Chains A and B, each alone.
Chain A
Amino acid sequence: MTLENEIYQFGEKIFNSIGQNAPSGFGKKGLASKLMQWSMTKPSLKTNLFRLVDVLPALTNSDVVAKHVHEYLGEDLTELGPMFKFGMKLAPGLPSVTNIAVKKSVKEMAQMFIVGETPEIALPKLKNLKKNKLAFTVDLLGEYSVSEEEAEIYLKRYLHAIKVFGEDTELQDTNKPIFKGHPGCIFPSNVSVKLTALYSQCTPLNFAKSVEVLSKRLSTILKLAMKNKIGVYIDAEDSEHNPIIYETIKKVYGSEEFLDFPFPGLVIQAYAKDSLELTKDILDFAKRRGKPVAIRLVKGAYWDSETASSELHGWENPLFIKKEKTDANYEKITKLLLENVDICLPAIGSHNIRSLSHACCYAEKIGVSKDKFELQMLYGMADPIAKAFVGEGYLARMYVPLGEMIPGMGYLVRRLLENTSNESFLRNTFHDQNEIKSLLKNPSENNNEIV
């Protein structure tokens, strides 16, 4: 059977086991789902709605909340009022009850994607994931670090989280791994680090110093993580900062001190035109290092902002402009990673059932077993999908953001945007309910009909 046919059969099986269970964001309940439904059916107001959600957590008094709600939604309040759980009479000067109600509903929405404000609060939910046979990696949401004071606070938050997870015997119980013998389970917990927030003067023009400072701070994190048995991924960010990030990763992961850190992780974004080259470069690095690294493959979270920014500067867009190109490149890199499982642990980060199925089927085809790679998804976006893959015997890890609402807003709005975009696999699956056949189409061949 051809790979395409296998992907189609396998994908269909996944769709069947998901059945009617849409991810929480696409369900019937909650502000997030209503918001998403609503902005997908009424795109003209999407901008206003998202801008409102973006500003709300920053507002500290009820008059100001009411003012912003009115200004953004105006006459649409009649329709939208119930969504935010407030009456239609909302106007500046109303008692703070309304304020609380509005902010409460936004908070509820945030909780779908954000696991809690502190590591302590997050613990029960993380244990719950584990009970459901899901691994996790925790990301700490933060503001920009504009000063060293802020960067240090951020570093301390990571160290604190690592300590809290490390000291929790239930979470760290290595006797009951989710997937026995899987390299992703050597350390039971895992954190994902946003490197640029660890140094306030991290810019390309301050390249050498940025790498130096970040290496030091990353080393501090790795040392404690090693001691506490916490795995680590370094997130990929925008193309302005990524060269600094990869340089730091090579310096620190390549150093003698951390050669024994099991599968230290990094991220490759398939939407970047140069990502295939980068992957080869990283694989070479892993070879030189002599010990494997974990490589999370994602499509990339900064498509809108990077595309807009390269237009403003008159620079060539470093990213693919067509979604299918990203998807096809994603599959190319998937193959490359799976062909090199001796020097890397591939982590296929996507909610796209085609992309995930492609990885699973290709692995099978070339004889790479299920304990040689893992799948990763964002918390709150793909619970039923993750479950379906776990059902097929794969290790799935959830990326779990943790932190306060205001700094979390950027993340939340990005997720909402991603899910309501025309190009979104999740939207096409759960909102528009496209045909399975077209959802599983090979991105490399435009008119590839599956027989």
Chain B
Amino acid sequence: MKLFNNISPTDFSIASEREKFQKAIDTLNLKISKSSFEVHPIINGSEESVEKSISRENPNDTSEKICQVHLSGTKELEKSIEKLKQGFLSWKNVNLSNRANTLRKVADIMNKKRFELSAIMTKESGKPWKEADADVVEAIDFCNYYAYLAEITLDPINTQIKKAELNELVYIPRGLVAVISPWNFPLAIPCGMVVAALVSGNSVIFKPAEQSSLIAKEFVSILLEAGIPENVISFLPGLGSEIGNAIVKHPSIDMITFTGSKEVGLDIIYESSVVRPNQRNIKKVIAEMGGKNCIIVDEGADIDEAVKGILYSAFGFSGQKCSACSRVIGVGDIYERLVDRLTSAASDLIVGRAENSASFLGPVIDKDSFERLNKFIENCNKEYEIGYSTIAPLGGYFIGPHIYKNVPANSKLWQEELFGPILASLKCNSFAEAIDVANDSPYALTGGIYSRSPKSIKYARANLEVGNLYINRPCTGAIVQRQPFGGYKLSGIGEKAGGPNYLKQFVYERAISENTTRKGFVPGLAD
């Protein structure tokens, strides 16, 4: 059995690594300049032609078209389900280590194509270099980790050893798993959910976010190349409101794993609780949803570290991570100095095309986000004390960093998840008060503190309500196995991604007890 090791992120201080990345971008640019990409549904290994399609533009440069996404409908869904049910019958019986090794092959192919994959994300999703690289790394880690985890946790176990009985607990796959994924980690998150389902023996319907269909298609090709059977994975690009909705309601779906917004997540949980005609099971749902993550900085904090960490947590990938920091609390005297330094630092962050390696903030994902955020910012500029507000470059969906001061804790800005480069701050007089203010939120995903007081650190460990607590470091960038990721309260339901309990969600447990005696003859007893 192979052990698990994280793959290393790219060391961009090495010139040749930067060159490889740049070359991948150049190659992709050349391809797109000839013609944009087509993304079709893939069922049983072949592309389906459908009627409707939408065009996706480059968020870095709206005059450029990236791809045409052909939208799956109920016909594709029905066909998928038929194929996947067949596929499941053999896939579930494939030996566990064979399934695990196929995942490792997926990881190897992704590693070979890492710059190619990153390049797609810089263009299609506006992910800056380092973030795109981290996305690929996480995807690879998920494959290798779940392969390893499957081998150590999904084998049958003997519950108790008895002379007259064989008592076992065995794990069997659930069946047909739907994966509905977001655009913000367009490779890592769907990859994690899909390969977890596959390695546990399920067949999978994969519905990516429409904004990141191209990288999703690339991922599916890699799965097939690595040897995942064609009738075990269906790729159904399309709109959440149409195909997404149809998948969730379909009576043949056994499980839904979702990452995305709270609204959609709660809706999926609700819809999947309805038992529809011909449905013979209860749908299991895993939902990872939003966060309104807070970093607390106390009087004794290392302010240099705090400023750097908060900037990265709040504005890395323009705040479009569920783990991003959107609230900052300064305790006592440090507040003013902290906010001063944050605002002056924010004003110098480089905003620009994500393909340009220097950009700290690329564009936001699409027109909807762009308009929604700009409208919100316009309101904030009227309603709250501005720390820093700016006008971003034109040509793409660029929004610069924004910081607001002395924001009331009951305000919309303090309470609602915005998914953009907007940071609210306020001052508290004591550390305990700061923890209370931070906890007064519907979410509990990530959070952090900067402090050099052993007592405060201990207090935060016990009392800050977050799924992932980060002390004296940024609150984003969880690494597979090292920091299993996921929240509670309205941030989601399910075991942590990249953690030791994740795979058990994709299987049913069966207990089997066999009387091994025959007419008083107990095998082995007399020997």
Contacts and interface: CB of A to CB of B under 8 A. Distances in A.
A143 B8 contact: no
A53 to B, nearest CB: 11
Contacts of B7: 314
Interface in A201-254: 201, 203-209, 239-243
Given A58-B300, A60-B299, A315 B452 contact: no
A315 B55 CA distance: 40
A205 B12 contact: yes
Question: By DSSP majority rule, is chain A's interface helix, strand, loop, or mixed?
Answer: helix
Nearest to B8: A314
A71 B358 contact: no
Given A146-B344, A314-B5, A315-B11, A68 B129 contact: no
Interface string A53-91: 011001111001001100110000000000000000000
B6 A72 contact: no
Interface stretch (B178-186, B218-226, B238-246, B302-310): B302-310
A195 to B, nearest CB: 15
Nearest to A151: B348
A148 interface: yes
Contact of B300 (A59, A203, A208, A314): A59
A146 B300 contact: no
Contact of A147 (B302, B333, B347, B360): B347
Interface in B278-320: 299-304, 307-308, 311
Contacts of A206: 350, 357-358
A68 B455 CA distance: 9
Nearest to A207: B18
A71 B454 CA distance: 6
Interface residues of B, number: 37
A143 B299 CA distance: 17
Given A205-B18, A314-B6, A68 B304 contact: no
Contacts of B129: 205
B40 interface: no
A150 interface: yes
Contacts of B453: 55, 67-68, 71
B300 A64 contact: yes
Task: Count chain B CB atoms within 10 A of each CB in A68, A239, A242 and give the residue with the most.
Answer: A68
A224 to B, nearest CB: 24
Contacts of B8: 313-315
Nearest to A52: B452
Interface string A333-377: 000000000000000000000000000000000000000000000
Nearest to B302: A58
Nearest to B451: A55
A144 interface: yes
Nearest to B358: A206
A67 B455 contact: yes
Contact of B308 (A146, A148, A313): A146
B301 to A, nearest CB: 8
A212 to B, nearest CB: 11
Contacts of A432: none
Contact of B333 (A54, A61, A204, A205): A61
Contacts of A280: none
A144 B347 contact: no
Contacts of B311: 146
A423 interface: no
Given A147-B345, A150-B344, A51 B452 contact: yes
A111 interface: no
B341 interface: yes
B3 interface: no
B30 interface: no
Q: Pick the most buried of A51, A67, A150, A205: most chain B CB atoms within 10 A of its CB.
A: A205
A71 B457 CA distance: 11
Contact of A144 (B9, B304, B358, B454): B304
B13 interface: yes
B13 A243 contact: yes
Nearest to A70: B455
Nearest to B457: A71
B4 to A, nearest CB: 12
Contacts of A55: 300, 302, 452-453
A345 B295 CA distance: 49
A428 interface: no
B130 interface: yes
Contact of B344 (A143, A147, A315): A147
Contacts of A314: 5-9
Contacts of A203: 358
B525 interface: no
Contacts of A72: 454
B455 A143 contact: no
A406 to B, nearest CB: 9
A22 B350 CA distance: 50
B328 to A, nearest CB: 14
A208 B349 CA distance: 16
Nearest to B349: A201
B228 to A, nearest CB: 27
Contact of B341 (A61, A146, A209): A146
B177 to A, nearest CB: 31
B311 to A, nearest CB: 7
B161 interface: no
B121 to A, nearest CB: 15
A204 B18 contact: yes
Nearest to B11: A315
A149 interface: yes
A71 B308 contact: no
B15 interface: yes
A419 B345 CA distance: 35
A201 B11 CA distance: 17
Given A201-B350, A206-B350, A149 B308 contact: no
30 contacts: A51-B452, A54-B302, A54-B452, A58-B300, A59-B299, A59-B300, A60-B299, A67-B455, A68-B453, A71-B453, A71-B455, A72-B454, A144-B304, A146-B307, A146-B308, A146-B311, A146-B341, A146-B344, A147-B341, A149-B348, A200-B345, A201-B358, A204-B18, A205-B129, A206-B357, A206-B358, A207-B18, A243-B15, A313-B11, A315-B11
Sorted from nearest, which 3 A-B pairs have the closest CB atoms? A314-B8, A146-B345, A206-B358
Given A148-B348, A149-B344, A150-B341, 20 more contacts: A58-B302, A60-B333, A61-B333, A68-B300, A71-B453, A71-B454, A143-B304, A144-B307, A147-B345, A147-B347, A148-B347, A201-B358, A204-B12, A204-B13, A205-B130, A205-B357, A206-B357, A313-B11, A315-B8, A315-B11
